[in-house]
Homo-oligomer: A and B are copies of this chain.
Amino acid sequence: MVNYQPAPLDRVFGALADPTRRALLQRLEAEAALSVTELARPLPISLPAVMKHLDVLEGAGLIARRKQGRTVTCRLTAAPMEDAMAWLARYQRFWGESLDRLAQFVEDAPK
């Protein structure tokens, strides 16, 4: 029933589970292409740490990197997010669910 092979969705959701990686994607949403140095500049972490985060994002297919001489440029490749969003969309009918009904489920002690 459950597929234990590393699935693309595991990698996408896993990549998005970190605030630094989400911040990197947000930078690349605002600007079409940025060098690793430009991406790292505002972050309070080391360049190797930034590069590890970029490895995770690339592993999930969320960014592409291109080498130009000594500069590595990154670009957003957001297509894998579509499957993640499709997965979440199945649960949309539950979002409007009454909080009262939920509180009742959690708190009601059986007689």
A contact residues vs B (CB 8 Å cutoff)? 1-4, 7, 9-11, 13-14, 16-20, 22-23, 25, 29, 33, 42-44, 64-66, 68-69, 75-79, 81-82, 84-85, 87-92, 94-95, 97, 102, 105-106, 108, 110
Contacts and interface: CB of A to CB of B under 8 A. Distances in A.
A105 B66 contact: yes
A65 to B, nearest CB: 8
Contacts of A85: 85, 88-89, 92
Nearest to A71: B110
Copies in the complex: 2
B10 A23 contact: no
A102 to B, nearest CB: 6
A16 to B, nearest CB: 4
Contacts of A82: 92, 95
